[in-house]
Amino acid sequence: MSVISIQLGNNLYCKDPQSTELGKKIVLHSIKLISELGFEAFTFRKLSMQIDSTEASIYRYFDNKHRLLVYLIAWYWAWMEYKIEYETHHLGNAQEKLDRIIRLITEKKVPDDTFPDIDEEALNKIVIAESDKTYLTKRVDKDNQNGLFKGYKSLCDHIAALISTINPNFTFAHALASTALEASNQQVFFAEHLPSLTELSQLEDPYSANYHFVKNLIFKTIDA
Amino acid sequence: MSVISIQLGNNLYCKDPQSTELGKKIVLHSIKLISELGFEAFTFRKLSMQIDSTEASIYRYFDNKHRLLVYLIAWYWAWMEYKIEYETHHLGNAQEKLDRIIRLITEKKVPDDTFPDIDEEALNKIVIAESDKTYLTKRVDKDNQNGLFKGYKSLCDHIAALISTINPNFTFAHALASTALEASNQQVFFAEHLPSLTELSQLEDPYSANYHFVKNLIFKTIDA
DNA sequence: ATTCGTTGATAGTAATACTATCATTTATAG
DNA sequence: CTATAAATGATAGTATTACTATCAACGAAT
């Protein structure tokens, strides 16, 4: 039996949390705690109590809570890239692939049995509410140099490449890709918390509405 | 001589910072400090030292630093709305108005002599790097109920209304407006810190490029 | 049987985000 | 011009956070 696991760059942790039981517990419960408390109220102390361990032990895996957040978000995007690969490699043309990607990004996230240690639903909540905080810091440039955002950038590249295939004359492929990625999560947040900023919450199926919104946004924008 | 000032809702502060000298100093120097240190490293203690005052005195104006940030961002959007009003009321049709708004939102911000107490350039930096943090908290719903995001929502409404005038059949006017507003700032941040997520940084005039990107995004998307 | 690596237990520190109290200065009204 | 109130300053104190350091205990591998 072959076990698939998402392998992440070694700058994303101090000590690989996938290599030990404690590491897995840290990841598992941090997803739970951050999604419940929000990133600001989340502390290593609270996490250590949840898993009957100590702050010091957690610090052996992650330098600080920001790094842990970056790790979780990186895991999410690596997971998305894996799913995209799996569901688009057989498709014939760029349009179809892009369409499938938009669907994957906007669809409601359900538990993925392939990774029993991760609560993908809770992780998606974190991505929606906290992922911008990974780069909205004074350390962005250093963190970027250390490759912490590689996964997100590679997904953006992937989408931009499809956009350029569909319309080679479109100048802003990466800008549109990053805008669409950000928007797809932001709109879900708005629908829940600032509903006057979006129509999603008024429609019967907000996830499907989001899909149509983002799809329309991309395909209309790139049409020559 | 009539002095114009941006009047903000009274939930945005404890005591109106525009009503006293100390209040004005708090706003003036907090813009400077937050833009330099970033919001996380910014503290009331550091601010109090800058203005030769005390933490306790600052707390009389703002409950906490998050509230101060919300105030600054609200001021910014109120200022934008004022500029938009001023520069679009004479324009004949929705297309022209929307175009002008996009230009105003994406253009490089320079000091506005009308408000000598505010460094609009530094404030714009804050909007770009920190504004998402105003609502990405566990308190969003409460803060929203207290009207803290009124200015942003009203600008979004304004843009959405123009979109609906241009194409009454477009379903996602507010979603597109909020997406464009967010993107216009996000792309500037990416250009500076995560340049592989956007083309803006490669082009001669990134501000003009941003204008064209956002304009194209909106007008292409809403075309029937 | 030893030792190595992992974890736990405990302690400690500087900084943060406040709150409270009271004295002092400044403005304002009588 | 004085009385009084409002605004500010000075000072102190607290709980929590975000770490760092040290050492003991335990189990697994050699």
For residues B164-188, average pLDDT = 98
Q: What's the pLDDT tens digit per position in A165-196?
A: 999 999 999 999 999 999 999 999 999 999 99
The partner residue sitting opposite B175, judged by closest CB among A38, A175, A213, is A213
> What letter represents residue A181's amino acid?
L
- Determine the pLDDT at residue A3: 65
Tokens, residue A22: 């404690």
**Res. A224 pLDDT band, cuts 50 70 90:** low
| Virtual torsion, Cα A211, A215, A217, A218, nearest 10 deg | 140
User: Which bases in strand C are touched by protein, i.e. have an atom under 7 Å from a CB?
Assistant: 6-11, 15-21
For residues B112-133, average pLDDT = 95
Contact B136 A130 (CB under 8 A): yes
* Beta carbons within 10 angstroms of residue B113's beta carbon: 6
The partner residue sitting opposite A182, judged by closest CB among B157, B174, B186, is B186
* Beta carbons within 10 angstroms of residue A66's beta carbon: 17
Nucleotide D7: closest residue by CA–C1' = B57
Interface test with A, best of B143, B144, B194, B203 (most A CBs within 10 A): B194
| Virtual torsion, Cα B171, B173, B175, B178, nearest 10 deg | 180
- Determine the pLDDT at residue B5: 83
A179: chain B residues, CB-CB within 8 Å? 179, 183, 186-187, 217
C-alpha A50, offset from chain centre? 24
How many percent of chain A have pLDDT more than 90?
92
**Res. B223 pLDDT band, cuts 50 70 90:** confident
Q: Decide if A217 contacts B217 (C-beta within 8 A).
A: yes
Contact A178 B198 (CB under 8 A): yes
Q: What is the DSSP letter of A142?
A: H
Report the distance separating Cα B76 and Cα B131, nearest Å: 10
Q: Inform me whether the pLDDT recorded for A214 exceeds 80.
A: yes
Q: List all residues of chain A from 139 to 178 with a beta carbon under 8 Å from chain B.
A: 140-141, 144, 149, 152-153, 156-157, 171-178
Contact A221 B223 (CB under 8 A): no
How many percent of chain B have pLDDT more than 90?
92
Long-range own/partner contacts, residues A177-182 (CB < 8 A, 24 or more apart): A177/B197, A178/B186, A178/B187, A178/B190, A178/B197, A178/B198, A179/A217, A179/B179, A179/B183, A179/B186, A179/B187, A179/B217, A180/A102, A180/A214, A180/A217, A180/A218, A181/A105, A181/A152, A181/A155, A181/A156, A182/A132, A182/B182, A182/B183, A182/B186
